[in-house]
Amino acid sequence: MARKKIIVGISGATGIQYGIRALELLKKQDIETHLVMSKAAELVRTYETEFKRDDILALADVVYSLQDIGAAIASGSFKTSGMLIAPCSIKTMSEIATGVTSSLLSRAADVVLKERRRLVLMVRETPLHAGHLKTMLSLTEMGAIVTPPVPALYMNPQSINEMITHSVARALDLLDVEVDVPRWTNEHRVE
């Protein structure tokens, strides 16, 4: 049986740790990952983490250049289970919504949508103006799932890494990937 394939996109919004954690969790699941990162993500990496570029690339099974228009993930005939963009910048989100794709990152997302596969966008922006909200609505109507990384404080996280892991696990749920993280149960209810 072929391994499940998921595309991971990392754009230039703050929160590159979400994309890195997604790659780490998918590697543990033995899921084949196809990574594409924006140039802005490379810059954010230097601001937000101690990770070297090669450390991140090593987490993926296949890595594509941002300008590789002939890449497998640019074709609908290359079957995947979907795509996660973590984090997803407003620029990337807007390119996907309009279909005016300027790079392999937005092209791969466009392909996922046209093939009716799951596209999960961890949009990182706040506050949001009406244009952002309209774009999110448009993407939702096209079949994308917009899931900003909102920490689940009811789980009483003890570290930023726990919050990141939980947010990424919830996004991966939307791609039918089960990650072992604390979940809400009836035991949390207050009577």
Q: Is residue 183 part of a domain?
A: no
Two tokens at 184? Answer: 């809400």
Taking 70 as the threshold, does the pLDDT of residue 47 lie above it?
yes
| C-alpha–C-alpha distance, residues 75 and 108, integer Å | 8
pLDDT digits (tens, 9 = 90+) for 134-159: 999 999 999 999 999 999 888 889 99
The answer to the question of residue 67 being in a domain is yes
Residue 184 lies in a domain: no
- pLDDT band of residue 189 (cuts 50, 70, 90) is low
**Is 97:134 a contact under the CB 8 Å cutoff?**
no
What's the pLDDT band for 4 if we cut at 50, 70, 90? very high
184 pLDDT higher than 90: no
pLDDT above 80 for 188: no
In a domain, 186, yes or no: no
Integer Cα distance of 114 and 128 in angstroms? 27
Closest CA to 18 of 132, 158, 145, 161: 161
Q: Is residue 13 part of a domain?
A: yes
Token look-up 């394939």 returns 5
Question: How far apart, in whole angstroms, are the C-alpha atoms of residue 157 and residue 142?
Answer: 34
Residue with tokens 């984090």: 87
Average pLDDT of the segment spanning 120-131: 97
Spatial distance between the Cα atoms of 38 and 166, rounded to a whole number of angstroms: 24
The domain containing residue 17 runs over which residues? 5-177
pLDDT band at 185 (very low <50, low <70, confident <90, very high): confident
Examine the pLDDT at 31 and tell me if it is beyond 80: yes
Three-state DSSP state, 155: helix
Percent of the chain with pLDDT over 90: 89
The total of structural domains in the chain comes to 1
Query: pLDDT tens digits for 76-99?
Result: 999 999 999 999 999 999 999 999
Burial state string for 107-123 with b = 16 or more CB within 10 A and e = fewer than 16: bbbbbbbebebbbbbbb
What pLDDT score does 36 carry? Answer: 98
Question: Domain containing 37 — which CATH number?
Answer: 3.40.50.1950
Q: What mean pLDDT is reported for the chain? A: 95
In the chain, the percentage of residues whose pLDDT exceeds 70 is 98
Average pLDDT value for residue range 18-34: 97
Does a structural domain hold residue 188? no
| Domain membership flag for residue 189 | no
Question: Mapping DSSP to helix (H, G, I), strand (E, B) and coil, where does residue 62 land?
Answer: strand
* DSSP letter, residue 4: P
How far apart CA 171 and CA 178 sit, in angstroms, is 10
Q: What does the alpha-carbon distance between residue 168 and residue 181 come to, in Å, rounded to a whole number?
A: 10
